[in-house]
Chain A
Amino acid sequence: MNVKWTGILAAAFAVASASRASGADTIKIGVTAELTGPNAEAGAYEVNGANLALDEINKAGGVLGKKLELRIEDTQSSNNGAVNALSRLGSEGNLVAIVGSVRSTQVQAMSPTLQKLGIPMMIGGTDYGLTHAGNPWLFRCRPNDGYSAKVIAEFGVKTLGKKKWAIVHSTDAFGNGGKDRLADALKALGVTPVLVQGFTSNTQDFTPVVLAIKQAGADVMASYIANSPDVGVLSKQLRQLGVTAPWVGSPSIASSTALKLGEEALHGTYAIADFSPGSSAEAQAYAQKYRDRYKVEADFYSSWAYDAVHLVAKAIEAKKSTKPADLKAAFHSVKGHKGAEGAYQFDANGDGLHGYNIVKNEKGNIVFVKTISFVPAQ
């Protein structure tokens, strides 16, 4: 090894140890985010939301007299990437909580590892089963699909008065779970869908899906689609092949990416939205702050992470402790914390929110229609 390389290595070690030293008196929260891969846009929003909350808390003096710090790991938009990211965070050994993934399928994959680690993970995935599989460490910062399905069914059947339903869904944990809940919710209202059609994410051509909807003669369409680009491709082909039935979808059809890609093909559609700037003063304030700082419109990909970091800080303050078991207890005693997503009250399963907003796409602008809420099961 020559002198030059020795020098570079020494400098590298110095930088590495310096960064460790500076982090010694902070409270660390892990973040698993999709920074690379097909869903990298959602990962960037998650980090944006978390950072916004972090800076607010630190500016106000931190928590227990210490600054908060985020330790961010990339999930590469995949399940095994998510598990690896969580393992890397776990091996640091000093994290008080983790802001997990917005993808149900990744949360499902990380769940066993999390249970072994035994620290709370705030999640944004909305698959009903995630918080109903006996893992006490999951805390959901968005309403689950059990609620979303009830809201979609109620809105479509009662408000729009439609009985011939086509359900289109992606075939991952989120899409499949949502489809099952929606079929159940419709059944409770006496409706059997005329078509249930799945597709794999990142499909290049939706012609078979659209033709199936046409042939089934549906007068309303509901969707559970995980990825926004799929919404964009599907919406354009739907309109081209002449499907004009009203469309009530899961939140992805009102995401900023879907709006940009689908353009006028998405005009007039309804979405359920956990985050809607018009729904509360807190949501409006968050949307304003997010726009000022990042120059893009806020959506649910960031708002849940923003709430998650605030909830962790609040839990630490409430118990004056950073022990995982104390935080877990603190989350369960949260009553009516007003976040960007809504008023939080964690039930025994770890679900923090219990209602959904209905929004409408009015020529590209997302307009708040109404909120439908349910009483949390204890």
Chain B
Amino acid sequence: MQPKLTAKARCTDKEIGRISKVIVDPLSREISHVVIQVNHGGDRERKVPIGEIQEAVSEEEVILKCTSNEFDQFPEIDRDNYVTLKEVEIAHLEEHLDVEPGEILVPLPTLERGMPRRTFFANMTHAVGAMIALPLVFPVLKYLMKPMYRTFDNSWFNIGNVQKIKKENIGVQYKFTRGVKEAFMPEEKVTKNVWVVKTTPQVLEKVYGNKEKKFEDSTGKVVWVNKPNVPYVAFSGKCPHLGCGYKWRRVKKYPDGVFLCPCHLSVYDEAGIVLDGPAPRRLDILPMQLTASGDVKIIDIVYKAGVKEEIRLL
């Protein structure tokens, strides 16, 4: 039981005064001392360690272990060495202490008595608040999502001529420049990479498996079909693993040459099939057509990297 302020203090022989203050240890948050104001002693207040309290008879009275003569040995409090709780913040102190002289109560205004009024206005406030936010949700989401799903660009780009390719079944790099126009920005030129392979019939079969390859736009309409009898294949320059640029190289393990990606060492053969490395799928084939004079035209499709399926992004 914690001593109450203004509780009477008795020594073993007689009543000595009242508890006027309580001193708290800021670290342990326990009461370390009580300050007893001596009866008829004017302003005399003595600091008594809590251990000296023999028993707390009730909340109104405590009995000390000492006699009234021994009481005078306790030191007087030097008030300047202490601050009140209004001047210092001790965390969680209220949970440990209960030294108020009873609770301080404040009456509810008449209009706030009775729960129905409070709950009605509280609930209606929440409802109105939600109704202010709700109309904005859809427009804001659409606003933010506007550029996220752009329509596919199915324009053809001339990337060069097949005369460049001297040998069959090797990767030949073609660079082309295209314009990129984003929203309100002026058009910018970017250079991109495509790898073209002149294939023998066996390799061509590995590429297409004798089936046509259809390319569709976002609505599912077929934009182009690569026929399996054209002996040239154009591969997108981005590795399907994570989008790095790969190259045709001759390495010790594959002296005839392979497509090798330097980022995570995915290896593909001349048909684009994965030989080694973390690539989730084979090299991406681009829609391609050859003009009569041997110019190669492609649609610059970008596929999503890192997945097994072919998902078109642009």
B partners with A:
no
Residues of chain B whose beta carbon lies under 8 Å from any beta carbon of chain A: none
